[in-house]
A = this chain, B = another copy of it.
Amino acid sequence: MSSGLKAETNSLPPLSQEALRSKPSAIREILKLTQQPDIISFAGGLPETNSLPTQLIPELHEKAVKDFGQGIFNYGLTEGFMPFREINKYYLKEQGLVVDDNLNKVLIHDGSQQTIDLAARILIDPGDNIVVEGPTYLGALQAFVPRRPQYLQVETDKYGIIPDSLKDILTKNTIKMLYLVPNFQNPSGNTIPWDRREKIAELAEKHNFYLFEDDPYGELRYEGEHVAPIQSLIPNRTIYAHTYSKVLSPGLRLAAALVPNHMVDKIVEAKQGSDLSAGDYVQALATVYVRDGYLKDHLPKIRAMYKPRRDTMLNEMVEHFPVNWVYSKPEGGMFIWVQGPEGADTKEIFKLAVNKKVAFVPGEGFFVSGGTNTMRLNFSFSNEDKISTGIPKLAESIKESAVIFENK
């Protein structure tokens, strides 16, 4: 049948160039392998399912219908459900963002992935230069691909992006946009300190480029002090993306974007053509969640759940990982980043680990180029027991691969 279908398909009109360019996400193929229930997965970027405030939903529903009426089940505005946009203005101000009607607007999107996609649509033309970190969030690369930009990869260390590396790029290139995850970056776990944020803002002003500040993990800090967003320094050239996937539920697909006024109409038009609007119903639930203090109550619980998982993973790594393998010690978020010695092959290690029923994400996919000796470990989705069982097995796989590597 499939061969018959192929024959048929060949005679059909071709798909678009954009379709022919697109490739399946490496991580997605890997996550499929990790669906088996008996596997310990450090691969995904998922919150702990038991951390999701499911049991609150009936209460949120009752209040939402009472306060906002049945209209929340009908069509809504592309900009977002007004009470949700309003509550986000206050919430984002609390996080240190500059929120000012004369300067920018809050728009509601179906997860911050959509904010990245819409920003790419309205900002990037084919051939435009965008700077990304090495490593960077691969969902961003996926959203950029259809725009066919030129990627320039800036070097990073344990404090994130290295300003001199960025300066070096800017002396040689005109860039349209810099994409950053400044807090507990996915995948590195690193946070950019304030002095570097100031330098980045200065460079944005001096070399006239836009910043996409992606901040899905900012609220998940387990130690240290909150660092103010870069947006607070250059609000007129920053699109800031906040998501409710980590602090409420990924299954509601809700994010709040803070967008400079001169981009607002174009982003709204792009979203309207894409899917009309986010759903008013889930926005109404989230409005009550933030408005009535459920979020404030919930955040300490998630932090209290994830911190010991991070600690357990780091302790197990200290005990079991080879000394020539280094890794990040994130102050928050969901990920630990691991780098092996030159020549280490984490794709090879992945195969060995999956045989031992342990999974992670090989790091190569997070780079525009390089990264074959790196891996990303997620600590939010597995409890301490699973982490204590899984990390030694992963360490074994690393050692076995080293042996294989030497024997080659």
Spell out A's residues near B (CB within 8 Å): 1-2, 5, 8-9, 11-13, 15-19, 22-25, 28, 44-47, 49-50, 52, 54, 57-58, 61-62, 65, 70-76, 78, 102-103, 109-111, 113-114, 117, 121-125, 128, 139, 142-143, 145-147, 176, 208-210, 236-237, 245, 249-253, 261-263, 265-266, 269-270, 272-282
Contact = CB atoms under 8 A, between A and B. Distances in A.
A122 B70 contact: no
Given A19-B123, A121-B146, A139-B276, 4 more contacts: A16-B147, A110-B253, A142-B269, A251-B281
Given A102-B1, A123-B15, A282-B282, A52 B70 contact: yes
A42 B53 CA distance: 41
A103 B5 contact: yes
Nearest to A100: B1
B279 A253 contact: yes
A97 to B, nearest CB: 18
Chain copies in complex: 2
A49 B9 CA distance: 44
Given A103-B5, A236-B12, A269-B24, A117 B46 contact: no
B13 A209 contact: yes
Contacts of A237: 12
A114 B272 CA distance: 9
B54 A266 contact: no
- Interface class of chain A by DSSP: helix
A123 B19 CA distance: 7
A265 B32 CA distance: 14
A75 B73 CA distance: 23
B252 A73 contact: yes
A50 B262 CA distance: 38
B251 A117 contact: no
Contacts of A28: 78, 272
A12 B208 contact: yes
Nearest to A208: B13
Contacts of A143: 273-274
A127 to B, nearest CB: 11
Contacts of A251: 72-76, 279-281
A281 B266 contact: no
A102 B245 CA distance: 35
A359 to B, nearest CB: 16
Nearest to A103: B5
